[in-house]
Amino acid sequence: MKPYIFLSFLSCLWATLGLGQIVLLNENFENGLPQGWTMEPAQTWTIASNSIGNTNAVSRVGNDSAWLHTPFVDLSSVVAPELSLSFAMVTGAFTNPAFAIWYDDGTGWQLLEDWGVFNQINTISVPFAQDPSVWVPDSADVYSVNIDLASLAANNNVRFALGLLHEFQANQSRLLIDNILIQGETPVGIATNTSSALELRLFPQPVTQGTLSIQSASPITSVHVFSLSGALVAQVNQAPTTLLQADVRHLPAGLYSLQIITKTGLLTEKLVVAK
């Protein structure tokens, strides 16, 4: 391929990916619970297949308080951050469940939003002993919500907890969550650069053993890997670091594009995976 054709192709690709919009977290649980997510207590959530929209969703069933924690994200790296997701709830043996989202910005957990008890949320009833991995998508109302995170925009290390409100736990109530997206706009004055402009090093290149190391003069807060069709195929979110390692063992051999968010800018780079 001629160099000018390749550069033109990359320019079109970056435009297709919408680099004015920065994705901090994007998860649909199609490959299970990803690295960086945690459960409290452990093993209290499961992946429900053929769930919301006939795809995988993360599911919580039980009588006690159990929370699903997202990785930390840097909301200060974007403008107008927002969180969106889809969810559905099932009534157990007694009362309706209530879904809540909390956040931790380093000062302790605080309630962000809740639905189900004081809001008009429809739930359905299921047999008491029904298998929690079984789900009938046509029988429940699926809600899609968008939450404005502008009040948290100055925080560079925030995580979220998703679960049923403890005081409204219902015997065998069920909560299903899917399509979690945290994103925002590129700040004015923050440049989108190639790696050479901000002293970025990727190694090895190509990746043959499954681990990509990214070293940067500016602390890295997240990395997103896109296929050439524009699909997000891998992501890493963590506290700012100048040396980040990304597990790409699941990626087929080929060419990918990287969206690397640092404290001083948004960088784009190519990744070659060889098997």
Provide the β-strand partners of residue 270: 257
* pLDDT tens profile 147-202: 999 888 777 789 999 987 654 444 556 778 889 999 888 765 444 555 554 478 89
Which residue range forms the structural domain that includes residue 67?
24-185
Same domain, 177 and 194: no
SS3 for 20-64 is CEEEEEEECCCCCCCCCCEEECCCCEEEECCCHHHCCEEEEECCC
Distance, CA of 130 to CA of 90 (rounded, Å): 11
Structure tokens at 37: 């997510």
Distance, CA of 60 to CA of 68 (rounded, Å): 9
Same domain, 128 and 193: no
| pLDDT string in tens for the chain (275-residue length) | 333 333 334 444 443 444 467 788 888 888 888 878 888 887 778 887 766 666 677 777 655 567 899 988 888 877 889 999 988 776 655 556 678 899 998 889 999 988 865 444 444 444 433 444 444 445 567 788 899 998 887 777 899 999 876 544 445 567 788 899 998 887 654 445 555 544 788 999 899 888 999 999 889 988 888 887 777 888 888 788 999 999 888 888 888 888 888 888 788 888 888 87
The number of distinct structural domains making up the chain is: 2
Distance, CA of 254 to CA of 98 (rounded, Å): 44
CATH of the domain at 245: 2.60.40.3080
Same domain, 128 and 241: no
Same domain, 10 and 113: no
Question: Can you say whether the dihedral through the CA atoms of 66, 233, 202, 240 is positive or negative?
Answer: negative
Same domain, 9 and 30: no
Same domain, 145 and 70: yes
For residue 136, the model assigns a pLDDT of 43
DSSP 12: H
Note the pTM of the prediction, 2 decimals.
0.64
